[in-house]
């Protein structure tokens, strides 16, 4: 994925525009449809190294579909990390299951396999590790736990693309994986998501679940035919399903993005390396550690601020005063969000299901549940890496150096 660092990259290029224009020229006719959805799914699966890829409207519906395909139902438990956007926990609740939160490893910010093992119960059905900020979790021990306890692993790869773990592409290791194509991600369709798997049965379940439970869709077939539609006796719906299909126009954009994804990902890596050089001699800014057997695609460069007298807010304010683009915080831990807290709990009607399946009690999540995550979340500074104009990335790195010098 090498490239010249000094050039300007067009994030949305000629291919995306060409494909969208081609689609618009078809007037969205079924008979003249260019078939971008199928082309995108095939190309995406080949890029990740899986047999199947099923495109969705966003990267949260993908989690819902994957949980269904994993057999997660009411009364089940799914183990995930609280140190991420709350979409995984919300999807677990949407599947009528209970989110169970495992702690993280301090230097990588990734879910801790030892903590996962302590959380496994007779009700555990699946594990959902998150590839946070572009780095893979330690997948080998997670997969070993899954094999030992007969669990399904769903990789949430929303924040990574083309990262590797021990030579294997992130998103190709678990039984299922979920990607996001939201606007800030490595490649985008404006909005979108993809479920990947090597299991034909799971792929078939994902497809039916995401296409209204239609009888004739399958792992590799995403639409019903004209003959089916025009048959008055056609039995369409064989199971509960939702309209999670990716629109054809999003697929056209996504296909164009995919065809120059290496360049887009490399620019993020180059930007992150530029910032890593800027903080190399700073003892109180500790970057997310990328193990030697992994590659990091750096959706963002995440560092821990451990200065004895400078807090997160003060550092960010000074960085921005010097002309910095801003610094993002880590998300509030999922179980610390108001909807999970006992006094402000709101599961949008899921309470009765959870109560009936768990002895009349709702899950409670108290401070101290994941002490490492609770500490690290308050320390994380996340720097943008999506600098398509290289001169702007260089300027931001210099501002970071200036800010470090100010507080040193």
Query: Where do the DSSP E strands lie in 168-270?
Result: 168-169, 176-180, 193-197
pLDDT at 31 (0 to 100): 62
User: Among the CATH numbers 3.40.190.10, 3.90.1150.10, 3.10.350.10, 3.10.105.10, which is that of 262-330+373-407?
Assistant: 3.90.1150.10
Residue 391 exposed, middle or buried by CB count within 10 Å (0-12, 13-18, 19+): exposed
SS3 110: coil
Catalytic residue among 47, 185, 208, 384: 185
Classify domain 14-260 by CATH number: 3.40.640.10
Strands 300-305 and 380-384: antiparallel
pLDDT of 394 reads 97
Asked if 192 and 250 count as a contact pair (C-beta separation under 8 A), the reply is yes
The residue written with tokens 């007037």 in the block is 27
In this prediction, residue 359 carries a pLDDT of 85
Question: Catalytic site residue 185?
Answer: yes
At 3 the pLDDT is 43
Q: Are 76 and 98 in contact (CB under 8 A)?
A: yes
Q: Where are the domains of the chain?
A: 14-260, 262-330+373-407
State residue 32's pLDDT score: 66
Side-chain half-sphere CA neighbours of 352 within 13 A: 2
- pLDDT per position in the chain (408 positions), as tens? 444 456 899 999 999 999 999 999 998 876 667 799 999 999 999 999 999 999 999 999 999 999 999 999 999 999 999 999 999 999 999 999 999 999 999 999 999 999 999 999 999 999 999 999 999 999 999 999 999 999 999 999 999 999 999 999 999 999 999 999 999 999 999 999 999 999 999 999 999 999 999 999 999 998 887 788 788 898 999 999 999 999 999 999 999 999 999 999 999 999 999 999 999 999 999 999 999 999 999 999 999 999 999 999 999 999 999 999 999 999 999 999 999 999 999 999 899 999 998 888 899 999 999 999 999 999 999 999 999 999 999 999 999 999 999 999
Question: For residues 274 and 394, is the Cβ–Cβ distance under 8 A?
Answer: yes
What are phi and psi for residue 18, nearest 5 degrees?
Answer: -60, -45
């Amino acid at each position: 994925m090498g490239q010249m660092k000094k050039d300007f990259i067009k994030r949305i290029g000629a291919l995306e525009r060409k494909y969208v224009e081609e689609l618009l020229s078809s007037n969205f006719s079924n008979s003249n449809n260019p078939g971008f959805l199928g082309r995108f799914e095939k190309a995406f699966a080949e890029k990740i190294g899986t047999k199947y890829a099923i495109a969705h409207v966003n990267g949260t519906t993908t989690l819902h579909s994957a949980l269904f395909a994993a057999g997660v139902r009411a009364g089940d438990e799914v183990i995930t990390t609280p140190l991420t956007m709350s979409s995984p926990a919300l999807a677990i609740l949407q599947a009528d299951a209970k989110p169970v939160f495992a702690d993280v490893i301090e230097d990588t910010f990734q879910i801790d396999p030892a903590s996962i093992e302590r959380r496994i119960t007779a009700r555990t059905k699946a594990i959902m590790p998150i590839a946070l900020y572009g780095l893979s979790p330690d997948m080998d021990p997670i997969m070993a736990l899954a094999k030992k306890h007969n669990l399904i692993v769903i990789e949430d790869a929303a924040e990574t693309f083309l990262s590797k773990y021990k030579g294997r592409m992130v998103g190709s290791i678990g039984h299922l994986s979920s990607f996001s194509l939201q606007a800030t991600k490595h490649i985008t369709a404006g909005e979108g998501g993809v479920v990947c798997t090597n299991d034909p049965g799971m792929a078939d379940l994902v497809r039916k679940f995401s296409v209204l439970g239609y009888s004739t869709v399958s792992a590799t077939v995403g639409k019903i035919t004209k003959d089916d539609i025009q048959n008055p006796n056609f039995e369409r719906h064989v199971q509960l399903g939702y309209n999670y299909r990716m629109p054809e126009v999003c697929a056209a954009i996504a296909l164009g993005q995919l065809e120059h994804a290496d360049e887009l990902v490399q620019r993020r890596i180059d930007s992150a390396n530029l910032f890593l050089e800027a903080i190399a001699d700073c003892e109180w800014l500790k970057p997310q550690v990328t193990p030697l057997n992994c590659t990091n695609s750096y959706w963002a460069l995440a560092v821990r601020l451990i200065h004895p007298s400078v807090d997160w807010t003060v550092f960010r304010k000074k960085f921005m005063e010097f002309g910095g683009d801003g610094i993002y915080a880590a998300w509030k831990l999922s179980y610390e969000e108001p909807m999970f807290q006992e006094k402000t709990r709101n599961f949008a009607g899921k309470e009765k299901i959870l109560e009936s399946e768990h002895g009349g009690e709702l899950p409670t999540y108290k401070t101290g549940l994941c002490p490492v995550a609770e500490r690290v979340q308050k320390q994380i500074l996340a720097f943008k890496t999506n600098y398509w104009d290289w001169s702007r990335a260089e300027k931001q790195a210099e501002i970071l150096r200036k800010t470090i010098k100010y507080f040193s």
